[in-house]
Amino acid sequence: MTRPAARATLLVEDDAVRVTRFDFAPGAETGWHRHEHDYVITAITECRMLLEEPGGARREVTVRAGEAYKRPEGVEHNVINAGNVPMSFVEVELK
């Protein structure tokens, strides 16, 4: 199945952080990736995400607008907008 790509917009990058805004149309995905740094996600809109994980695991999570969460370096996944409306979040990678 071919999905549209999420749009990544680099907002800030220096020696300490990389800040990227991600915008997803319904059904859009990031594509498989591995996080090279610890990171924090803050939802701009409600984000209904389908997470594809190694080994074929799939799980759905919802992050409400304004909520944030932190994950460690090494996370590997594909993030898909599982909702029927656009979703957006900001990711801050801690270098």
CATH code given to domain 7-94: 2.60.120.10
Q: How confident is the model at residue 1 (pLDDT cuts 50, 70, 90)?
A: low
pLDDT of residue 7: 98
Average pLDDT of the chain, as a whole number: 97
5-24 average pLDDT score? 98
Mean pLDDT over 52-68 rounds to: 97
70, pLDDT greater than 80:
yes
CA dihedral angle for residue 60, residue 65, residue 66, residue 70, rounded to 10 degrees: 10
Q: In whole angstroms, give the CA distance from residue 72 to residue 90.
A: 16
